[in-house]
Amino acid sequence: MKVFLLSLLSVSLCHALVPFIDGGKGMPKMYDSYFNDQLAKQAATAIGKAVSAGKMNIQVEFPPVPNVEEVKFGTPLNQKFGKKIAPDLKMKYLPGSNLSRNLIAYSNVYWAKRFAGALKGGALGGKPVGVLSAEQVDFTDVKNMGDLSRSGKINTDKARKEGRNGEAIICINPGGEETWPRLVSAHGQPNCPFVVMNNSYSTSYDLGNKKGFEEAYYLKRISKGFVFRSFPGPWEAYLEKPDGTVELLESYKTKPKLREAAELVRETSFKRYAMDNDRWMSGRM
């Protein structure tokens, strides 16, 4: 009987630990996932799976800070996140500091650090991983680069010349997707992962991209909800409820149109809650 109970306990513990190992299934919890590593683990797991499946050109897209739209105003959640990542980067989060003034740019470096392990081949992998950015970031401020072997600015001669054989690249906020293939040619290495991460705008005005980059991890806020995808899973449309929790409304085998997902979420929200589903008024910032 004791053996049986111990076996059940072991199984239960294993199941309980799974979300902590890979972040679990379904979209990450807003906004706890920024602080309990769920988002980091989910995205790293999805990137690793995409690379293992032979996907070399990859898109990773999610809000780099909890409240992107309000980053200039220093909401409590964004301040909390800045203080969380400061020790990891070995920087200081103080009023007027580079980290506080350019929180998105340095947050993206933090995320690149968290994902580098998935690109270098795991804990025992030896593949170098470089990070290139088009943002207002001074890499000399970052005293702890972790698994990132080098850093630089996109489309500079220095960044091109420092490329190494067998190197994976994380390219932060690279610009319109029409430039991505040229960036791969300029900075990528043959048969090595090239990740475009957290582009600040889309020139396709739709979900993901149209240049053949695998959307390995994708979380986009839309009116009244989110669109989410974690490789190799389906695309999903979520409703954000008045209490901040989310509900899966639809799962798509192939990438839907932004208009299709947005209409479903918005219309469902209005039918259920009319005008009483507003995150701005509910204080979820």
Question: Mean pLDDT by 10-residue block, N- to C-terminus, for the chain (285 residues)?
Answer: 39 42 91 96 97 97 95 90 98 95 97 96 77 95 96 95 95 96 96 96 93 98 97 98 95 97 97 80 54
CB 209 within 8 A of CB 180: yes
Residue 146 included in any domain: yes
Residue 21 included in any domain: no
Residue 20 included in any domain: no
Domain that holds residue 171: 26-282
Distance CA 163, CA 161 (A): 6
Q: Quote the number of domains for the chain.
A: 1
Angle between helices 76-89 and 103-120 (to 10 degrees): 50
Residue 19 included in any domain: no
- State residue 275's pLDDT score: 80
- State residue 22's pLDDT score: 85
Q: How is the beta sheet containing 129-133 ordered, strand by strand?
A: 150-153, 129-133, 168-172, 194-197, 57-61, 214-222, 225-230, 235-240, 246-252
Residue 277 token pair: 């589903």
Residue 47 included in any domain: yes
Residue 151 included in any domain: yes
DSSP states of 220-283: EEETTEEEEEETTS-EEEEEEPTTS-EEEEEEESSPPPHHHHHHHHHHHHHHHHTT---HHHHT
Residue 10 included in any domain: no
- State residue 283's pLDDT score: 55
- Matching residue, tokens 């449309």: 237
0.85 surpassed by pTM:
yes
- State residue 100's pLDDT score: 95
Residue 7 included in any domain: no
Angle between helices 38-52 and 103-120 (to 10 degrees): 40
Residue 177 DSSP label: G
